[in-house]
Each structure stands twice: as structure tokens, then as C-alpha cells.
Amino acid sequence: MGILRGIRVAAVTLCGVGGLSGAMYGLLTGQGKRARTLIGRSTTDPHRADGLYPGGVGSVLKFAVLGDSLAAGLGAENADLLPGVLLARGLVEETGRSVHLTTYARVGATTRTFISQVDQAVADPPDLALVIIGGNDVTGKMRVRTSAALLGIEVARLRAAGAAVVVATCPDLGTIRPIPQPLRSIVRQWGRMLAKAQRAAVLRAGGIPVPAADLISAEFHMRYSELFSPDRFHPNGAGYRHASDVLLAPLCRAVTAST
């Protein structure tokens, strides 16, 4: 996917090439290459476990998960630890309703390619949608304003189709330790800028933004060795469980508000 090459280019773009000394440009270039070597590339697709998760009485809650590799659950050791599965089961427990999970998320997705996922989702509209997107926009050097505007358009489409929409905004890329300093601080700043712009766009579109970097990242900083998969870029099952514990409450509130 060229993730780390994109990070290096994005960092240089953020700083402004004209404002970088030759030494700093060389440092960022070298750090991007080193981080790419350390992280490597994913060679397997995420597990899939879509379908019905039975609950109690009432209508079936149609739950869709859209976005990038974090939404798809890349790095989870088995299907039971996918974020969609963890959240579907949590929704069953909290709402008492059966939940039908459909995962549209794809590894490598950006906000531009996210459009095709929404096309699929609105063809059979969910009652509730979770969106996790933005990390690849940073590594792919997409402008913050463009990325947020595209997200707002797609959230509005989901809302118009009748879905309650919860968006986990751009994660804290500063948690990824194979990205060395100062490159890690630069991409962290870019991600924070995007998360802020995403929040405003999601609110305007009628969705519910969840500040992932604020609510989730502290635990990943403290428990790095426990919560990351072997690629050291994506969470493992324990990491997805932590994130799901944070996301479940806003999803439940969205369900309550829509009924």
C-alpha cells in the first residue's frame, strides 16, 4: 500500500518543502524508509464474520461497518475479535435486539474510495452505521479540507437513507512507534488536524463524531506491546476490544435517539 512512503511524503508536504532544510528533508526521507522496513506490509485479509447475532425481542437492528483497515479489523487474531463482531455482540447485550452485521470496510480505503462502500450500504440501508476512516488520507497526503468535505457528503448520504451514523475520527498516528521522531510528531499533528475537520463535517451532516485520538490513544501509548499486532501498525484483538469498549456507548446512544 505504500503506507510509510506516503507518511514521509505527507510529512514533507505538511511542513512545506520551502521551509525544510536539505538536512531535514533528508532526515524525513530516511526515517520514512526505515519505518517502512520495520513495519513491512500486510499479506493477509481480515477475517469476516458478517451475519445475524441473535438477541431477544424486537426488530433486527441492521448494523454496518464502513471505512479502512481499522474498521475491517486487520490485525485481529480471529473473527471473534473483529471490531464489527465485538460491537454487534455489545449491541445485542445492550439493546436486547438481534443485530445483523454487514462489513463494507476495506483495507487501504481512503475517503475517496469510501464512496463505493456507501453506494453499497445505501442500496440496503442499515439502521446504524459505524465509520472509521482517515488514516490513509494522512499517509496519502490528501488535503485536510478535501478529506473532511468528502466524509461529510457520505455521512449525509447515509443519514438520508435513514441510518444513524457514528464516526470515529482520525486516530492518533503518534502511537505507531516504528515511525521515528520527528516524523511521528509531524504525522500526529496532521492526523489531529484532520480529526478536528472531520468532527465539524460529521456534525453538519447529522452524524455523531467520536474523538478516537482523545478517547482511545492513551491506552495504546501505555500498553503498546499488548495492544498492537505483529505489524506494529494495526491493533491486535485486545486493541480492537479496547476501541470497541469506547465506541459501544455512542453507538447505543445513536440507536436510542433514532427510535
Annotated active-site positions, please?
A: 69, 231, 234
Residues 104, 192: Cα–Cα separation, whole Å = 25
Nearest to 5 by CA among 228, 179, 186, 192: 179
Residues 87, 58: Cα–Cα separation, whole Å = 18
Per the structure block, which three cell numbers stand in for 170? 482520525
C-alpha 156 chain-centroid distance: 18
Query: Can you state the percent helix, strand and coil of the chain, rounding each to 5?
Result: 55, 10, 30
CB 129 within 8 A of CB 84: no
For 101, 247, 250, 255, 256, the CA distances from 84, given in Å and listed in that order, are 7, 11, 14, 16, 19
